[in-house]
Structure 1
Amino acid sequence: MRTIGQALAQNLVDRGVEVVFGIPGVHTIELYRGIEGSEIRHITPRHEQGAGFMADGYARVSGKPGVVFVITGPGLINTLTPMAQARADSIPMLVVTGVNRRDSLSKGLGLLHELPDQLGLSQTVSKHAEQVASAEALEGALHRAFAAMEGRPAPVHLEVPTDVMPLPGPSAVTSLPSSDPILPDLSLVAARLAEAKRVVILAGGGCRTENFALTQLAEKLDAPVVQTVNARGLMHGHALTVAASPSLASVRALIEDADCVLALGTELGPTDYDMYATNTYPQMENMIRIDICADQLARHEAVLTAVGDLKHCLPMLAEMVARKAPNDGAERAAQARAAAMEEVTALGLGYDAFISQIEDLRAALPHAVMVGDSTQAVYAANLVYDHDRPGGWFNGATGFGALGYAIPAAIGAALADPAAPVIALMGDGGAQFTLPELGVASDENLPILFVVWNNNAFLEIANSMEAAGIKATGCHPGAPDFSAIAAAYRLGFKRTTPEALSQVLAEVLPLSGPMILEVDMSA
């Protein structure tokens, strides 16, 4: 007899799931009966928040949904933060949990891990949440969950009551449903672009898999391409690339000088377009938007919109658009890049030095996946930095903005693409949110370079408090001895200064396993 837990695992295998991130507990034991002997690789994080962030990093690099198995109650609650980060950044994630037996739900009986309404709680951050209450309901629930991750991707949640998991499951998996891609009519978009003389393209995370088509379109239009954080790595080193934040005055000037703005796969969110919280946006004349989500398109005024997946729409549009005679696109892009770097340097926060260090890391490990936390080096590079791998620059400093993202998300990224160099970027404060997940890197012997800028502070917050005339309170938690942490988790370790970073990188690379590289900021 095949149980529901076993049927669920087989259904996941049939849908291409290869890795599950989970921490087993008494309320999920029957789910693990399905994993035993299956083709699924199970990764055991040290905390459910780590499981969720690992699934996030895995999904971004693999292009497949990240799958999480966690227990009822606290397991789900600990996963809500990663789910919210994934929701903000349009990342597909399937969270499977237990829930107490059906006859106890919502009765307040005081059962272990009981919540008043677990499903209702998850619905605050998930795109779809459903309870699997019987064997007959399993496949339909999985169909709906995976369908919900199509369109604009997001986390989804399925809960299985403990008294349902061991029941006899469906005898066979039915054929999986398929859906045709959304293919809008882009003729009006192409016509508008043909009329424009000074186009600027805004490339968002929806473009991150379409480097060739974006390059082709930009060259045909002679259009500078401004990249949001989740689009960095596209068109690396290209004369039309503006890998700088549209929150900067210099980049806003480029956008406002355009007679047509083509916004592709970007929600135009303030963490990209108004990170200084001025409640102002660049003025965008004749904005055209293409996005997979109709709701997003309705949130900002545009002269023309089209609903569609950029995986299909970008190549279509690049083929449709006629090549314009080269004008001054490359010159406008170069001026914006130079002005953006001057603007960041003038902030006086040392961001130019951080950007230089990130570039040293890129030079030492070309085409690496760089996964960042909320830390000054990442804030700096989010303002101005041109990465060299499409889809290879992402971090928790935008969108939901969760600390503790870098370590587990980098582990997920390394598991998704074992051939890719992976670098995790963090400060000493953020590292301590998910420090135990280093044990997973050790267990799996993943050659990840964990770079920790150690200033013994939440320095960005301390600076912000002092700038507001408030004494920096609660901003100086003591940092651990990172060399001892590395030894405890069987990781390599090296300490350096910002000035010696490039030299030290040459000494420690290539990696044979995970390593902590501490950048001492005390001098």
Structure 2
Amino acid sequence: MAADGEEDVETVTGVALLADALRSQGVEWVFGVVGIPVTNIAPALQDAGIGYIGMRNEQAASYAASVVGYLTGRPGCCLVVTGPGLIHALPGIANAHVNCWPLLVVAGGCDQDQIGMGAFQEWPQLEDCSRCKYAVRLETLESIPFHVEKAVRSSLYGRPGPSYIEIPGNMTSDAVPITRIEQVLPCPPPPMSLADPAAVQRAVSLLRSAQRPLVIVGKGVAYAFAEHEARSLIVPRRLPFLPTPMGKGVLSDAHPLCVSPARSRALQEADVILLLGARLNWILHFGLPPRFSRDVKIIQVHLI
């Protein structure tokens, strides 16, 4: 109620700000386990039109949210409580980091006036999330839309990965005059990055001169929805290809150009290898002999 002679001021709570900010940035699904201090966030998400799915464990929630990020190209969101809730979600965060999947994790934190005093389930959560592409502990209600947009942008731009937002418990119920909230526009799609034309010409020339070329199709092709482009390159030119485990399905394993049954020989004898959205990690023996020829030339196309 306003005092005599004063006008009523419309206010908005921290949970409503958070839900509206997530919705405006294109977050459609949130997976989580609610409890103190994030209990009231779940209904606020539903009021904002966001689908909330309660899970039995935060680890499953973080995995589910990261898979949404991989399948849709937009970050799924995971909601967890303070301390153990965030700790249980770390496997999904690590998985998103290693696999380059966009993910947004929202965790409750202890009240701002209780930091360092042994608050309920207090834990150094920002430190645990230091490998995230963006990690922040909210300080003011007014900053919520800004940090949500920045977290989503960071998870998508460049090589995708996880972002982390921590909301102190007191901020979930605190309110601020709506006139103090600045509108933040939705994060635009990641900018298109192009290779140096000279490097493309060298790659084309190398492929044309190859005697035993091989294309390795990685998960980046699927993530970039580049199935048509990959097929248009491989099939007309009859280039032998080898899918990585997560590159399967871009072209059928039953395709006559698929050399999976002769994987070891194909890797050992190829003189030029084109990596499409794949990395030379343990799955591909790091690109080293004796699995690869010592003289092999490798063209790597980064898609994520």
TM-score band (shorter)? 0.7 to 0.9
User: CA offset at residue 56 of structure 1?
Assistant: 2.6
Corresponding position of 1:130: 136
SS at match of 1:42: strand
1:289 corresponds, among 292, 296, 300, to 300
Partner of residue 255 from structure 2, selected from 235, 238, 246:
238
How much has 1:227 moved relative to structure 2?
Answer: 0.9
- Say whether 1:254 aligns with 2:262: no
TM-score (norm 2): 0.84
Could you list the per-position Cα deviations for residues 174-225 of structure 1 after superposition, in whole angstroms to 9, with x for gaps in the alignment? 2224342112233332233233232101111101122211111112432111
Q: How many residues align?
A: 281
C-alpha deviation, 1:14, in angstroms: 1.7
Shift in CA distance, 84/289, structure 1 to aligned 2, threshold 3 Å: same
Please state how far the C-alpha of 1:279 moved relative to its aligned partner: 9.3
Q: CA deviation at 1:122?
A: 1.6
1:68-126 per-residue CA deviation (whole Å, 9 max, x = no partner) reads 11111111000001111222222111100111122332x2x2211111x21011224x2
Cα pair distance change 1:183/1:274, threshold 3 Å: closer
Q: Identify the match of residue 230 of structure 2 among 191, 214, 219.
A: 214
The answer to whether the 8 A contact 1:203-1:228 is kept is yes
Q: State the match for 2:113 in structure 1.
A: 103
Q: Secondary structure of the residue that 1:241 maps to in structure 2?
A: coil
2:244 alignment counterpart: 228
Runs (4 or more) in structure 1 with deviation over 4 Å come to 278-281
CA RMSD in angstroms, aligned pairs only: 2.3
Who is 1:184 aligned against? 195
Cα deviation, residue 61, structure 1: 2.7
Match of residue 156 from structure 1: 163
CA deviation string 1:441-467 (max 9, x = no partner): xxxxxxxxxxxxxxxxxxxxxxxxxxx
Match of residue 263 from structure 1: 275
Deviations 1:25-56 (A, max 9, x none): 12113433531422111101111111112213
Q: Which residue of 1 aligns with 2:126?
A: 119
CA distance in 2, matches of 1:202, 1:194: 17
- Summarize the alignment of residues 439-458 of structure 1 with structure 2, pairs less than 5 Å apart: none
Residue identity opposite 1:211 in structure 2: E
1:94 partner amino acid: L
Amino acid at match of 1:26: I
- The 5 A counterparts of 1:344-493 are none
1:25 matched to which residue of 2? 35
- Residue 273 of structure 1, CA deviation: 2.1
Aligned-pair CA distance for 1:172: 5.2
State the alpha-carbon separation in 2 of the partners of residues 10 and 80 from structure 1. 26
Once residues 293 and 153 of structure 2 are traced to their aligned partners in structure 1, the CA distance between those partners, rounded to angstroms, is 36
Asked if the contact 2:25–2:152 (Cα under 8 Å) also holds between the matched residues in 1, the reply is: no
Q: 1:112 to 1:16 in 2, by over 3 A?
A: same
Q: 1:136 to 1:51 in 2, by over 3 A?
A: same
Structure 2 SS opposite 1:24? coil
> 1:280 Cα shift?
6.0
Question: Unpaired runs of 5+ in structure 2?
Answer: 1-10
CA contact (8 A) 1:91 1:155 kept: yes
Between the two structures, name the one with larger relative contact order (CA 8 Å, sep ≥ 6).
2
Which letter does structure 2 place at the counterpart of 1:58?
V
Q: Which residue of 2 aligns with 1:488?
A: none
Cα distance, 1:135 vs structure 2: 2.3
Asked if 1:146 corresponds to 2:121, the answer is: no
Structure 1 residues 232 and 207, CA gap change in structure 2 (3 angstroms): same
Matched residue type, 1:214: A
With the length of structure 1 as denominator, give the TM-score of the two structures. Answer: 0.50
Q: Distance in 1 between matches of 2:270 and 2:152?
A: 40
Query: Retained in 2: the 8 A contact 1:199–1:222?
Result: no
Deviates more, 1:74-83 or 1:128-137: 128-137
Tell me, in whole angstroms, the C-alpha distance in 1 between the residues paired with 2:276 and 2:78.
30
Q: Is the alpha carbon distance of 1:280 and 1:144 closer, same or farther for their aligned partners in structure 2, counting shifts above 3 Å? A: farther
Looking at structure 2, the residues matched to 61 and 243 of structure 1 have their Cα atoms a distance apart, in angstroms, of 25
3-state DSSP of counterpart to 1:20: strand
